[in-house]
Structure 1
Amino acid sequence: MEGQMARPQAADYEERREAILDRAAELFAKSGFPSATVSDIARACNASKSLLYHYYRSKEEVLFGVMSSHIDDLVDEVVSVCEGPGTARERLTALLRRFMKHYVGAASRQKVLLNDLNHLPDDKRQEIVAKQRRIIDAVQALLVEIDPALAESAGEARAQTMLLFGMINWSSNWYDPDGPVSPDRLADMAFAMVAPDR
């Protein structure tokens, strides 16, 4: 109807959307995305399905929200560290430590990102993959800066980069942040294995 205004969003709209993502990430990490239903998500949020649909139109949209919020935080860290001061070794050490803090602080989101990417619609999956590649490329560039010999073999440089990510990305499956090894120390150990200080 002409002149009709859209209903304003509640002041805490974004906070509620984020709270839904937190509960959904825990549910997906525990049960797997395919097994979780919209009713399960609503129950985890102590909300009705109709209220859930007010914030997200589908289960896949919730999944994308979980992944994109997490990977956007990682991209922000890449930009902050790579554009900051320090040698390549210092910047990569700092970046890996920040990654580990995110992995520990958002362990459920990290598991969902690693395990459920193929359940996104193709366009949304490609959006996440593009951000993943941006992160990988930035780390690879730092490794090449640390060891210029890697510049002569793009395949070896990529392999070394992926070995590093393989060590830290999957740590959420076994790592205990309350154990004897701190997140910073774990990041430093992984870095030392692929780029020892010669």
Structure 2
Amino acid sequence: MIFAQPRAKAWAMARPQSPDYDKRRDAIVAAAAQLYARRGFDGTSIAELAKAGGFSKSLVYHYFPSKEDILDAVMEEHLDALVEEAETASRAGGADTQLRALARGFLRRYVGAEDRHKVLLNELDKLAPERRAAVVAKQRRIIATVEGLIATLNPERAAEALPLAMLFFGMINWTHTWFRPKGPTDTDRLADMAVERMLA
């Protein structure tokens, strides 16, 4: 009787992950966020990205099969951080406290993440439909959280909760274009101002 040779286990053949895998990947995403924010997604090539980040094209493709994969990572990671802030705020206490905590958390995240935030605001239509849908779903989840808090705080204006939520994000989402952290107003005070004006 002839016995078949045992198959090699997949895990035995897998290459071990480099100890600085995450560091290199993060460096690629950060460089891409900067270039996409300044030149736009369409105006940035993989070659330009590699040159700006100081790594080879082959390294970029080792981590990301396509330029769109990098764009998706820039947006998803930024949004995941904001979703985490919203979830943390939801445990802060009453509706007023939660809304202030959310606004403060978001503005703190925006500082230092201007490039990623700009890319999220301006380049969403460059993603394929299914990826765009995933990003939009997270955005709607955040908006729904704020909408619910507004309805709780202003029951008499519950029918206007969604427009008010959108106005709220209109106030805070563009602060990266003018806000300076070292100015006379810090992020927490700015967040409180946005909440106070929205609830007035």
Larger radius of gyration, structure 1 or 2? 2
- How many residue pairs match? The answer is 192
Amino acid paired to 1:40:
E
* 1:194 alignment partner in structure 2: 198
Give the structure 1 partner of residue 4 of structure 2: none
Match of 1:148 among 155, 175, 179: 155
Letter in 2 for 1:45: G
Q: Which residue of 2 aligns with 1:131?
A: 138
* Aligned match of 2:184: 180
Shift of 1:190: 1.0
1:54 aligns with 2:26: no
| Matched position secondary structure for 1:20 | helix
Q: How does 1:9-88 map to 2 (within 5 A)?
A: 9-82=17-90, 84-88=91-95
Residues 50-59 or 175-184, more deviating: 175-184
Aligned to 1:171: 175
TM-score (norm 1): 0.93
Q: Which residue of 2 aligns with 1:162?
A: 166
Alpha-carbon offset, residue 16 of structure 1: 1.3
Q: Which residue number corresponds to residue 121 of structure 1?
A: 128
- What CA distance in whole angstroms lies between the structure 2 residues aligned with 1:189 and 1:122? 36
Offset of residue 150 of structure 1: 2.4
The one-letter amino acid of 1:143's match is I
Per-residue Cα deviation, 1:150-185 (whole angstroms, up to 9, x for no partner): 22x1xx211100000001001111212222221111
The one of 87, 90, 97 aligned to 1:90: 97
Alignment gaps of 5+ in structure 2 = 1-6
2:3 maps to: none
Q: Which runs of 5+ in 1 are unaligned?
A: none
Q: Hey, what's the Cα distance between the residues in 1 that align with 2:42 and 2:178?
A: 23
If the length of structure 2 is used for normalisation, what is the TM-score? 0.92
Q: Work out whether residues 92 and 101 of structure 2, in 8 Å CA contact, stay in contact via their aligned partners in 1.
A: no
